[in-house]
Structure 1
Amino acid sequence: MPTITTDDGVKLYYEETGSGSPIVFVHEFAGDHRSWEPQVRALSRRHRCITYGARGFPPSDVPPDASSYSQARACTDIRCVLDGLGIDKAHIVGLSMGGFATLHFGLTYPERALSLLIAGCGYGAEKEQSAKFRGEADIIADRLRRDGMPKFAETYALGPTRVQLQNKDPRGWREFADQLAEHSAEGSANTQQGVQKERPSIFDLEEGMKKITVPTLIVTGDEDWPCLIPNIFMKRAIPSAALFVMPNTGHTLNLEEPDLFNRAIADFVAQVEAGRWPMRDPRATIESITGVK
């Protein structure tokens, strides 16, 4: 079983397919390395596609102590994957929890990123939602430890931004929910309390985001309500960012609309590799609608 070992001794399982410029996929809380299968099948025809399981998500190690999990650690684990596979730079694609890690990777290791695709990123980021989100992380962790993963998955897979997948693709949703039920309750609980609960708000990262020059694409579904305002904020803060909104789409957007999502990645990466991804024209930031000062 292929693994890389992080600098704090945790083994992360990975898979790689194809050749060409590398794309590293960073999964969400309700997903794992398998969640990127529609992307790997399409994009490995031209790229070296790498998926891996975050710490706490078997077959990666499940550290028993929540202190082994954090937003900074999730970011550093991406770098450890690159180091372990001998990759200098890669396109980094992350969804939700993985989108937060991708954003932090761009802030911390910009020299290691060819591009950043940040999808479904923003849950709990709004200041008025912070206390509620932190409280929900504790509730989720308690339920995971008390009831186990299969029972938790029955309800979590039917959240208000997941039902869109069920409505469009019942078979795909069933596979998603079944895979979620196979996760480690301990690892998921520790992830909730170490990563999700303690991560900083996107709105506190504005000054750092203003300095990002790595080509960036922000992707959200228009029915992923908690992410809409944070995504607009990131678009405005990051001078190298574009915003792509997928219509009638929820949170699990790479599974819900795989063809549209794959085209977005492919077009984005092609523009980056052709040297055609722009920085924002300063004239586009003038507050007057007409451009008159």
Structure 2
Amino acid sequence: MELLIDGVRYNIEVTGEGEPLLLLHGFTGSLKNWEFLIPIMGNQYKLIRVDIIGHGDTDKPLDHTRYSVQQVSKDLKSILDHLNIEKANILGYSMGGRLALSFACLYPEYVTKLILESASPGLESSEQRQLRIQQDENLAGRIMNEGVASFVDYWESILLFASQKKLSIEEKQFIKQQRLANSKIGLANSLRGMGTGIQPSWWQELSKLSFPVLLLTGELDEKFCVIAGRMQKLIKQCEWQVITNAGHAVHVEDRRMFGKIVSEFLNS
């Protein structure tokens, strides 16, 4: 399904029946990242998978300000309105988790339950934000200058994804092909418009969340375990699960456990 939302053509797939579950992938990903959930959850939930702006078959605008989490959260609201969905469960991973949290802070009336996998509320100090904006701009420039293939080689080598080296050759190839399918401008502008530095800090908003929240992290991802520990103390109705022998992308490294935990949380 394609929807034109405020000048941007979004690619969306809706499968299954039941309570809505909006699924938001990470940076360099696509809605295909969530295909494994269809046989696990499609008989209980209406799975709404979205190619986030700049990714997959959704448009890649040249103006990086169109990628801001505020603007894209508004797009998600319009998508739910178009589908006649008044409230949904929201699940986001990494960049998609930051977007999911942004949406939940901006449009809490649309959220039934929130699931954040390896996600951050953003950076608290202006110094941290400025440093990260510059780092993301450098990375965006690298993508534009060297191309997607060179960037993907670099991206797969960073410490954040070290635990994915244990995946099968087929799984690694599937992830790589998805990453390589991206465009230079889509990835570069995602960093410029939706990066951790440029997005608002939502730390002060966490205590206002009035719906159940599940935080998921892999035990090998120390940075995001520390962030989740801080977040749990601030969110009223919060459950935090740490998955053993997994890193940043729990849904890739332990799909069975991921599906089980998410299903149990939504059914509780």
State the TM bucket, normalised to the shorter chain: over 0.9
The answer (yes or no) to whether the contact 1:71–1:101 under 8 Å persists in 2 is: yes
- For 1:74, give the aligned amino acid: V
- For 1:184, give the aligned amino acid: S
User: What is the deviation of 1:141?
Assistant: 0.2
Alignment of 1:82-97 (within 5 A): 82-97=80-95
The separation in 2 between residues aligned to 1:237 and 1:209, in whole angstroms, is 6
SS, match of residue 28 in structure 1:
coil
User: What is the deviation of 1:152?
Assistant: 0.8
1:235 aligns with 2:198: no
SS, match of residue 248 in structure 2:
coil
SS, match of residue 186 in structure 1:
helix
Deviations 1:106-155 (A, max 9, x none): 21111111110011112963658545432321121011101111111112
The answer (yes or no) to whether the contact 1:124–1:226 under 8 Å persists in 2 is: no
Alignment of 1:90-109 (within 5 A): 90-109=88-107
CA shift in 2, pair 1:133/1:124, >3 Å: farther
- Partner of residue 150, structure 1: 149
SS, match of residue 162 in structure 1:
helix
SS, match of residue 187 in structure 1:
helix
Q: How many residues align?
A: 266
1:199 aligns with 2:199: yes
CA shift in 2, pair 1:123/1:259, >3 Å: same
SS, match of residue 208 in structure 2:
coil
Alignment of 1:253-292 (within 5 A): 253-271=250-268
CA shift in 2, pair 1:125/1:259, >3 Å: farther
- For 2:64, give the aligned amino acid: A
SS, match of residue 228 in structure 2:
helix
- For 1:228, give the aligned amino acid: C
Unaligned regions of 5+ residues in structure 1, if any? 272-293
The separation in 1 between residues aligned to 2:131 and 2:253, in whole angstroms, is 27
- Partner of residue 279, structure 1: none
SS, match of residue 179 in structure 1:
helix
State the TM-score, normalizing by the size of structure 2.
0.93
1:189 aligns with 2:192: no
The separation in 1 between residues aligned to 2:121 and 2:115, in whole angstroms, is 17
- Partner of residue 57, structure 2: 59
The separation in 1 between residues aligned to 2:151 and 2:40, in whole angstroms, is 31
* Identical counterparts, % of pairs: 26
The answer (yes or no) to whether the contact 1:106–1:214 under 8 Å persists in 2 is: no
The separation in 2 between residues aligned to 1:129 and 1:62, in whole angstroms, is 28
Alignment of 1:1-293 (within 5 A): 2-6=1-5, 8-122=6-120, 125=123, 127=125, 130-196=129-195, 197-202=197-202, 205-206=203-204, 208-271=205-268
Q: Which has the larger radius of gyration?
A: 1
SS, match of residue 161 in structure 1:
helix
Deviations 1:35-88 (A, max 9, x none): 111122311122111101111113111111112111212322221221121111
CA shift in 2, pair 1:163/1:173, >3 Å: farther
Moved >6 Å (runs of 4+): none
CA shift in 2, pair 1:166/1:174, >3 Å: farther
The answer (yes or no) to whether the contact 1:152–1:181 under 8 Å persists in 2 is: no
CA shift in 2, pair 1:80/1:107, >3 Å: same
Unaligned regions of 5+ residues in structure 2, if any? none
